[in-house]
Amino acid sequence: MFRFGLCVLAALVAFSFPVMAQERTTLGVGRLFVNDAMGDGQDRWRTGAHTISVMRGPEGMQSRPGQYGVLMEYRFANRIMAPSNLVSPAVWDRRYAGMLSFGAYSHFARDGFEYTVGSEFVAVGPMTGLGRFQSAVHDLIGMEAPGAGTLANQIPNAIYPTLAFEIAKPFPIGNAVLRPFLQGRAGDETYLRAGADLLIGSNFTTGILVRDETTGVLYQTLEDVPQTGLSFLLGGDVAKVFHSAYLPASDGYALTPLRYRLRAGLHYQGEKAGVFYGLTWLGREFTAQPEGQLVGALQVQFHF
């Protein structure tokens, strides 16, 4: 599996070579912060994440090309998953887990469908340093930090070559777009997911959108694409999860039959800056989890 993932990642880079003659440049950088402090404030389960998407392609590109490998996204991400009590976790609760990843994805469109295909390497465990980072931040702002026992019992070190894809079919409806999609992933988590998003306004109906792994929120990655004004997002999806490195069956965790998400967000675009805030309800991920949770997502963009 490791060699296969390495080959896929190398193939993505190789496919990008033909467009180097077109002066590949950075088209934009999309960033999204996710934290339950901006949601229900409970500091638990899917507690925090940060994703950076660097878009590279021919200068002036403002939409998905028709060819695989022309437009590349280089994605850096980190996520923290934690029990609901950071100091004295209940025996039924999930173990602490820190995750760092780097991936390469190709975005393209063909015959009315939008495709995202890529691969990433996911590092999990104490080697990520995220447990120490969260402890330092929480100590600094006076919040309860993960206990020594919690960090000692976190998901162990591992690296997962991971493959992922998404196929979407946009349907224009006036100044809005209905965008049903199918998504799959195999690696740190293995699942199939189906859902849809209703996108209203130029921030979500132009440019190139990337989907956040935690919330499913679509965020803008290009510079100088949106017009000024308000844009809205509504969406939801359901996933069948076959395997999760963060909820190992060997520890006695039983995955829920289906995993649900519902989301809504508002983006305001001014002359020089734009800001997005969204809320996502995440359903239960394992059967012992008593309820879902609410997390917030934030994106701030500056245009010079």
Q: Does residue 36 contact residue 13 with C-beta atoms inside 8 Å?
A: no
**What residue has token string 């760092």?**
100
Q: Tell me if the domain spanning 46-302 has CATH number 2.40.50.100.
A: no
Residue 19 gets the label, from left (phi > 0), alpha (psi -120 to 50) or beta, of: alpha
Query: What pLDDT is attached to residue 121?
Result: 97
Q: Does residue 292 contact residue 283 with C-beta atoms inside 8 Å?
A: yes
Rg of the chain in Å (alpha carbons): 19
Q: Which two tokens stand for residue 227?
A: 């017009």
Query: What pLDDT is attached to residue 242?
Result: 98
Query: What pLDDT is attached to residue 17?
Result: 43
Query: What pLDDT is attached to residue 21?
Result: 47
Query: What pLDDT is attached to residue 7?
Result: 53
Q: Are strands 176-186 and 158-168 parallel, antiparallel or unpaired?
A: antiparallel
Query: What pLDDT is attached to residue 153?
Result: 96
**What residue has token string 């946009």?**
170
Q: What is the pLDDT along the chain (304 residues), one digit of tens a residue?
A: 445 444 544 554 444 444 444 678 999 999 999 999 999 999 999 999 999 999 999 998 999 999 999 999 999 999 999 999 999 999 999 999 999 999 999 999 999 999 999 999 999 999 999 999 999 998 888 888 899 999 999 999 999 999 999 999 999 999 899 999 999 999 999 999 999 999 999 889 989 999 999 999 999 998 776 688 999 999 999 999 999 999 999 999 999 999 999 999 999 998 888 999 999 999 999 999 999 999 999 999 887 6
The domain ranges of the chain are 46-302
Predicted model pTM:
0.91
- Give dist(CA 167, CA 194) in Å, integer: 10
Query: What pLDDT is attached to residue 92?
Result: 96
- Give dist(CA 192, CA 184) in Å, integer: 5
